[in-house]
Copies of this chain bind each other. A is one copy, B any other.
Amino acid sequence: MKNYSNLNLMNFLTPGPSQLYFTVEDHIKKALKENICAISHRSKAFQQIVVHTISQIRQLMNIPEDYYIVFTASATEIWERIIQNLSIENSYHLVNGSFSKKFYDFSVSLKRKASKYEVALGQGFELADLPIPEQVELLCLTQNETSSGVSMPLSDIYELRKKFPNAIIAVDMVSSAPYPDLDFSQIDTAFFSVQKCFGLPAGLGVWIFNERCVEKSLALEKAGISTGTYHSISSLIKNIKNNETPETPNMLGIYLLGKVCEDMNRRTIQAIRTEISYKAGLMYYALRESKNFEIFVKEEKFRSKTVIVADVLQTPASTLINHLKEHQITVGSGYGAGKDKQIRIANFPTHSKETFELLADLLIKA
Residues of A within 8 A of B (CB): 1, 3-5, 7-8, 10, 12, 14, 16-20, 24-25, 28, 32-41, 44-45, 48-49, 52, 72-77, 79-80, 83, 105-106, 109-111, 193, 195, 200-204, 224, 226-230, 232, 246-253, 332
Contact = CB atoms under 8 A, between A and B. Distances in A.
6 contacts: A1-B49, A3-B45, A7-B38, A20-B32, A73-B77, A109-B229
Contacts of A49: 1
B253 A203 contact: yes
A22 B265 CA distance: 35
Contacts of A76: 230, 246-248
Contacts of A109: 226-229, 232
B19 A7 contact: no
B4 A17 contact: no
**For the complex formed by this chain, how many copies does it contain in all?**
2
Given A17-B40, A79-B229, A203-B252, 6 more contacts: A37-B195, A73-B77, A73-B203, A76-B247, A77-B230, A77-B247
Contacts of A24: 37
B4 A41 contact: no
Contact of A39 (B17, B229, B247, B253): B17
A343 to B, nearest CB: 14
Contacts of A5: 34
Given A38-B19, A111-B226, A52 B203 contact: no
A195 B17 CA distance: 24
Interface centre among A8, A45, A230 (most CB of B within 10 A): A230
A251 B17 contact: yes
A193 to B, nearest CB: 7
B36 A32 contact: no
A34 B203 contact: no
A35 B4 contact: yes
A77 B201 CA distance: 20
Interface centre among A32, A38, A40, A193 (most CB of B within 10 A): A38
A265 to B, nearest CB: 15
Contacts of A7: 34-35, 38-39, 45
